[in-house]
Chains A and B, each alone.
Chain A
Amino acid sequence: MTRWGMAIDLDRCTGCEACVVACAAENNIQTVGEEQAREGRAMHWLRIERYYEGEFPDVRTRFMPVLCQQCGAAPCEPVCPVYATYHNPEGLNAMVYGRCIGTRFCANNCPYTVRVFNWFDAEFPAPLDSQLNPDVSVRPGGVMEKCTFCVQRIQAGKDEAAQEDREVADGDVKTACQQSCPTKAIAFGDLDDPDSEVSRWAESPRAFSLLGDLDTRPGVVYLSGTEWREPAE
């Protein structure tokens, strides 16, 4: 069985945010505008967290791309009253937009604060509507959403493999963020396949899980060669 996972090499990340842009374009993410963003309503499924170390002028910035960790024991799932978020057999925390009634309980129970909410109906005024991705639904207002690991690309990869009568090979599916990363800091694939790139990265001595002591068993592994300070400091 496939277990989709991602590995992010923080030592390669330059914080350029190309992944953020690619994610928004791929997944029809609503742009909310300056005013709403200031109120804490920006909708990015993937954000680059910046943490500063040292005193000016000897400041060093560390970048941390944070997206849905696709937890194996996800705190968001049991609290949803309507099964709008559930665990699929391939290890994804799937969202059923049509089922979501907007209690926002899942977002409260996410230790990574990666879930975003459609506070208003999405607007894509012309000509923006002609660049919408036809493989991804546009979510209505009042609905929760988050990173899906580009589930539409996973589906396309599986369809293509099925047509060619073969198994999905490592590298067949590339997420939008992975594809757009200029330093190739992101690996994506099957964590249950020991030979896949993501599995090899996850075996690295530099690998760690974000907030690992919560035991949410994330599907995202981070790699860093240097000690991280406590994130809350």
Chain B
Amino acid sequence: MTDRPQASARALDGELLGRLDRRRPGLLVGSLASGVLVLVFFYCWGYQIANGIGVTGINRPVFWGFYIINFVFWIGISHAGTLISAILRVTKAEWRRPVTRSAEAITLFALAIGGLFPLIHLGRVAIFYYMIPYPNSRMLWPNFRSPLVWDIAAITTYIIGSALYLFLPLIPDAAVMRDRAAAGLKKRFYAVLALGWRGTAQQWHSLEWGIRILAVAIIPVAVSVHTIVSWDFAMTQTPGWKSTIFGPYFVVGAIFSGIAVLMIAMALLRRGLALERFLTDRVFNNLGLLFVTMSLVWGYFTFAEHLTVWYSGDLFEKLVHHVLLHGDFAVPFWTMVVVNLVIPVAVLSFPRGRRPLPTALVGCGVLVGMWLERFLIVVPALSTPRLAYSIGDYMPSWVELGIMIGAVGVFACLYFTFTQLLPIVSVWEMREGWRHAVSGGESGQPSEAAPTSAAASPAAGGGAA
């Protein structure tokens, strides 16, 4: 960090990193609670492996249940990060700076959990690798015509891409942590992460190009992932599933639920780590605007989907449509419409509604609503098969509920650990943004990103770009 000697820059570093050194009782309680849920998760999964997939509530004809719903839900949440942060980076939105890291971390951890659910769902999880194309003596390959095999390819690509995309901008911060840490295990941990970062001009140049390339490349990957998830349904001929609109509908829903979880995480981080100076009201205002836009787009897709089904008059499609809008699933359906469309539009249309607490509360509602949406895609279509004799019902068992709640704990545990170990706000990007602001490089940028401490001198600049 030889080329960044300014005291003000150090002050900013210190202010952000200082938050990591402080132990917070709230975080500790959260970590313990999530730890318990992690145990619940693995106990339930182990119980299911030992006793058979029959410990769930799935049956004929509802062969897919909570596990697939949660799979789609978590993959949707994963769009919080990489996609949103990539779009903000590519469009050079200045207010992205405090947001990107936490969003990218959400992506990686949500993907890891989302990727687990199809495995939990399998009847024989021990041989899940039959789905992976690997050389074997019998020359047996997976069936490349199956959307599930496309899923594996897409999600694997996305996990690797997201991990890289989280990791690259982390390198300079890991180097700062390394330099600050006392010799020992901690220092070695950060040294490994920092990959020998010295902050030379050449290294900065490579890093910025790497981030730039990844940010552009990850956008089509993110879009493809949720499109392919939708094809698990849309490629079938099940009434209620076969729909050409599902690809974009799922992508929009994924971004929508991704922003929801991002709003909640940011409100929590802002409070928990006292980051008011960095996650400002303006950030919440901007994200709130994006949020309400996605709500409207989602509402439009939902309307288009149901209108065409209703208008077609297809007997079997209409049956599924009927149980959704008027029948057994009417209550969850209309709840979904209220929390996904009515409430977000009512609250977020006003500047006062785009503040941390209301946006986070709307986000909670949208998470429930988007979970319900996936439930309403999976279950009604399956429980209303073409041959009326097989019409069925579905009620999840305690194992499915345990795994669903446990997964939230696994996510929280990973996220807490990450927040404890590494800066959840990208220190060097904040510093860069603040430098832009004071040098007038970005006109109209308020100085909210700059520390107001006495050490901050307006003359401070420099550093590699």
Contact = CB atoms under 8 A, between A and B. Distances in A.
Interface of A: 36, 39-42, 47, 49-51, 64, 66, 75, 78-83, 99-105, 107-109, 111-113, 115-121, 140-144, 211, 214, 230-233
Given A41-B60, A107-B60, A120-B51, A101 B142 contact: no
12 contacts: A39-B59, A41-B59, A66-B387, A81-B152, A82-B130, A103-B121, A108-B64, A113-B60, A113-B387, A116-B60, A141-B53, A231-B389
A86 B52 CA distance: 25
A26 to B, nearest CB: 21
B123 A81 contact: no
Do most interface residues of chain A lie in helix, strand or loop, or is the interface mixed? Answer: loop
B100 to A, nearest CB: 35
Contacts of B118: 103
Interface in B123-141: 123-125, 127-128, 130-131, 140-141
A15 to B, nearest CB: 13
A40 B52 contact: no
A230 B388 CA distance: 10
B316 A232 contact: yes
B94 interface: no
A42 B388 CA distance: 17
B389 A66 contact: yes
A162 B446 CA distance: 89
B60 A40 contact: yes
B389 A81 contact: no
B236 A79 contact: yes
B387 A231 contact: yes
B321 to A, nearest CB: 13
A117 B123 contact: yes
B202 to A, nearest CB: 45
Given A40-B61, A142-B52, A232-B319, A101 B128 contact: yes
B390 interface: yes
B238 interface: yes
A143 B147 CA distance: 19
3 smallest CB-CB distances across A and B, nearest first, come from A102-B123, A142-B123, A119-B54
Contacts, number: 146
A107 B64 CA distance: 10
B348 interface: no
Contacts of A49: 387, 389
B390 A232 contact: no
A82 B389 contact: no
A231 B388 contact: yes
B386 A211 contact: yes
B52 A141 contact: yes
A113 B141 CA distance: 27
A118 B64 CA distance: 14
Contacts of A82: 130-131, 142-143
Given A113-B387, A214-B237, 19 more contacts: A40-B59, A40-B392, A49-B387, A50-B389, A79-B236, A81-B143, A81-B146, A81-B152, A99-B140, A101-B128, A102-B53, A104-B64, A109-B236, A111-B238, A111-B385, A113-B390, A119-B59, A120-B54, A140-B124
Contacts of B148: 79, 81, 103, 105
B386 A111 contact: yes
Given A78-B143, A81-B148, A107-B60, A119 B53 contact: yes
Interface in B107-161: 118, 121-125, 127-128, 130-131, 140-143, 145-149, 152
B398 interface: no
Nearest to A233: B388
B386 to A, nearest CB: 5
Given A66-B387, A117-B63, A232-B386, A108 B54 contact: no
B410 to A, nearest CB: 23
Given A108-B382, A113-B60, A143 B124 contact: yes
A108 B389 CA distance: 16
A64 B387 CA distance: 11
Interface string B54-74: 100111111110000000000
A113 B382 CA distance: 10
Nearest to B316: A232
B393 interface: yes
Contact of B61 (A42, A102, A113, A230): A113
A102 B128 CA distance: 9
Nearest to A86: B143
A131 to B, nearest CB: 24
Contacts of B52: 119-121, 141-142
B32 interface: no
A111 B146 contact: no
A41 B397 CA distance: 15
B315 interface: yes
B293 to A, nearest CB: 34
B65 to A, nearest CB: 10
Given A102-B53, A233-B388, A142 B61 contact: no
B361 interface: no
B320 to A, nearest CB: 11
B235 interface: yes
A118 B123 contact: yes
Contact of B124 (A75, A83, A102): A102
Interface-central residue, B53, B60, B131, B235, by most chain A CB under 10 Å: B60
